[in-house]
A = this chain, B = another copy of it.
Amino acid sequence: MLFTIDKESLLNRIRTVEKITVQRGIQPVLSNILFETEGNNLKLSATDLDISITTKTTASVQEEGKITLPAKKIFEIVSKLPDKPIEFALNTDNNIVTIKCGNSKFDVIGISAEEFPNVIQNQNEISDDEAIVIDTNPLIKSIKYTVYAAATYQNRNVISGVYCQINEDNLEMAATDGNRLTRISEKIQNEKHKDAKIVIPSKTVNEFLRVSSIISEDKVYLIVSGSKIIIKTNSYTIISKLLEGQYPQYQQLIPKTTANTVKVNKNELSNAIDRVACMINERTNVIKFILQNGKMYLKSETPDSGTSEDVIETDYTGDEFKISFNYKFISDFIKIIDCENAIIGLNGNQSAAIFRPDNDDDYICLVMPLKN
Interface membership of A89, Cβ < 8 A: no
| Complex Cα spacing A66 to B250, Å | 56
Please, what's the 1-or-0 string for A59-92, where 1 marks a CB less than 8 Å from any CB in chain B? 0000000000010010011001110000000000
Is B80 a contact partner of A275 (Cβ separation < 8 A)?
Answer: yes
Supplied contacts A104-B276, A104-B308, A106-B309, 13 more A-B pairs, CB within 8 Å: A70-B305, A73-B279, A76-B278, A77-B278, A96-B306, A103-B272, A104-B275, A106-B278, A106-B308, A107-B306, A108-B306, A109-B304, A109-B305
Is A306 a contact partner of B104 (Cβ separation < 8 A)?
Answer: no
Please, what's the 1-or-0 string for A316-333, where 1 marks a CB less than 8 Å from any CB in chain B? 000000000000000000
Interface membership of A168, Cβ < 8 A: no
Interface membership of A274, Cβ < 8 A: yes
| Complex Cα spacing A123 to B305, Å | 31
Please, what's the 1-or-0 string for A7-20, where 1 marks a CB less than 8 Å from any CB in chain B? 00000000000000
Tell me which residues across on chain B come within 8 A of A358, comparing CB atoms: none
Tell me which residues across on chain B come within 8 A of A77, comparing CB atoms: 275, 278, 308
Is A109 a contact partner of B275 (Cβ separation < 8 A)?
Answer: no
Please, what's the 1-or-0 string for A95-119, where 1 marks a CB less than 8 Å from any CB in chain B? 0100000011111110000000000
Tell me which residues across on chain B come within 8 A of A103, comparing CB atoms: 272, 310-312
**What's the nearest-Cβ distance from chain B to residue A87, in Å?**
14
Tell me which residues across on chain B come within 8 A of A275, comparing CB atoms: 77, 80-81, 104
Tell me which residues across on chain B come within 8 A of A279, comparing CB atoms: 73, 106
Interface membership of A307, Cβ < 8 A: yes
| Complex Cα spacing A246 to B311, Å | 62
